[in-house]
Amino acid sequence: MRRRLRIPNLGGARAAILHRPHETVTALERQLLAIGLEVDCHWPDLPASARAADYLFIDVDTAFDDQFPWEPGEAPIPTIALVGSEAPGRIEWLMNFGADAQILKPVGDSGVYSALLIARATFDARVDLAGEIDSLRRRLGQRQTVVQAVAILAERGKSEDEAYEQLRGMAMAWRVSFEEAASRIVNSGKPLQKSESDHG
C-alpha cells in the first residue's frame, strides 16, 4: 500500500523536551524553532501539563518509567526517542516504553523535521490501529452471542444457514453491526416480531 504523507500543521505546535540541560537540547531547540514550533524544556520531572504538548522528546539514556504519568506503551502524544547509548538494556527499555520515531545523539544540524513527520504519522496509525483492534476484540467476544442468536432463529424451523442470513438481514435493516443485532435477539429472548423476520 502506498502511503501519502499528510503534513501536520507544525506552525505554532508545542514540543516538550525531557532532557537535562545539554548541547543536545540546544541543537534540538534550534531546529524546532527554525521549523516554527514552540518549545518547553523539562528536567527532571515531566509536568502533567506536558500532556497538552503536540510532540514529546525523551532521553532514552536516562529515562525511566516513573518519569511519565502514563503506562509504558500508552503515550498520549507522538513521542520521539533521543538515543545515545545503544546498550541493549536501554534499547529494551525503549521498546517497552514505545516511541514513534527516534533521533540518534548527538543531535546535529538536521533530523528533527523528518522525526516530527514520522512520529505524527506513526502515532496516528497507532491510535487508529488500537481503535480497530478494540473493535475486533469486542466483536470476537460476541461470538457466543451470535451462536445463541442463530440458534434462537433456527428454533423456528429454519436451517442454520437460513437463520444466519436472516440475522444478517436484520442487522442491515436495523443499521447495526451483526453482533449488535445478535445481542438484541438474545436479549429479547426471541426474534423481534417484525416483518423482516417473518417473510424469510
Question: Which positions touch another protein (CB under 8 A)?
Answer: 7, 9-12, 27, 30-31, 33-37, 108-110, 113
Q: Which is nearer to another protein, 86 or 109 (CB)?
A: 109
Q: Which is nearer to another protein, 7 or 48 (CB)?
A: 7
- Minimum distance from CB of 11 to another protein (Å)? 3
Report DSSP state, residue 5: P
Helix axes 143-154, 160-174, angle to 10 degrees: 110
Report DSSP state, residue 36: T
Q: Which is nearer to another protein, 108 or 141 (CB)?
A: 108
Angle at 64 between CA 51 and CA 14, to 5 degrees: 25
Helix axes 178-188, 143-154, angle to 10 degrees: 60
- Minimum distance from CB of 16 to another protein (Å)? 18
- Minimum distance from CB of 114 to another protein (Å)? 9
69 vs 103: CA distance, rounded Å? 23
The candidate with the shortest Cα–Cα distance to 27, out of 121, 153, 129, 115, is 115
**Please, which residues bridge with residue 66 across strands?**
none
Q: Which is nearer to another protein, 85 or 114 (CB)?
A: 114
Q: How many residues are present in the chain?
A: 200
- Minimum distance from CB of 60 to another protein (Å)? 24
Q: Which is nearer to another protein, 27 or 63 (CB)?
A: 27
- Minimum distance from CB of 120 to another protein (Å)? 13
